[in-house]
Amino acid sequence: MAGHGAGPLQGVRVVEFAGLGPGPFCGMLLADLGADVVRIDRRGARGGLIGALGATSLLDRGKRSIALDLKDPDDLTVVRALVERADVLLEGFRPGVMERLGLGPDELLTLKPSLVYGRMTGWGQTGPLATTAGHDIGYIALTGALGATGRPDERPAPPMNLLGDFGGGGVFLALGAVSALLHARATGQGQVVDAAIVDGTAVLTTMIHGMLDAGVWQDRRGVNLLDTGAPFYDVYRCADGRFVAVGALEEQFYAALLDGLGLSGDESLPDRTDPRRWAALRDRFAEVFASRTRDEWWQVFAGTDACVAPVWSLLEATRDGHNQERGVFVEVDGVRQPDVAPRFSATPGSVGPVPAPGQHDAEIRAELGL
């Protein structure tokens, strides 16, 4: 099997069972870094909402695709042949599905003892909710992360599905897969990686739990230092209806913020160290920011240490000067998309094309001698 690039994972073989969201995202991360990821697509067209989320997904970039029917004994033979040559397997079915197909970890670790068997679920392989359906919004709700997000007088604001599916799910599965792979290469012993979105999302809140325990964070949203409670860590509307983000936490950065706003030396400015004065301070900031457009404020603050940034839309972000110079986004096959992260000095990864379902059937079968 040949991967598309020469990243640090070149030579690592991955078999991924097609799915949505965090599992494919994990496979994308591995493919971006040079792994040869073979995606097993299901025969038949995908339609409706599932098609909208999954068809021609950029999460499948850099992978190869073979289309199989997992209920067909002949196709199951192909799956097992793929597993015998693989280092990592990724699946995101509900608990028990792979076992019913005869592809559970007991069977496949017997077939390939060094296999890293990566399992991506929302609730985990165990627990009272393990077999129930769910999506990102529910997983992050159960961890407390959703309830902590948003302003105090508004409903919690789901950050799309970035926090749960991708942050708490796909990234943690990728970390687990690479970690288990290092262990397998050192010992010859494979294992199951149980990556649950609730687990990973909970880990992302570790610092906040520490602050709760220390008494410097309140267990309610929108009143704390980093959740828009503080006026010097918030988002402000400008004269054109667009927004700027302010994160001037440290004293020297706050001084630069006041300088840019023309408020340096203003003795009537409310004391920022007194949370009781935060509402009044926010009103002053809001009044000043509303006097100019977003882009005019960016001209004022760009290149300073005031920790002020324009709130770009997704498309605007691709045109930002810093992002362009650094190459944060790249165009592949006419599609603008994020480039590989993180970056490696000796073995850089690369973005590959998105395969059509079953595009590499003949190629993969030939490699397997089938």
Asked if 89 contacts 111 with a C-beta cutoff of 8 angstroms, the reply is no
- Determine whether 32 is an active site residue: no
- Determine whether 183 is an active site residue: no
Catalytic residue among 75, 135, 183, 320: 135
Category of 350 on φ-ψ map: left (φ > 0), alpha (ψ -120 to 50) or beta: beta
Catalytic residue among 32, 87, 136, 165: 165
Catalytic residues, by residue number, are 135, 165
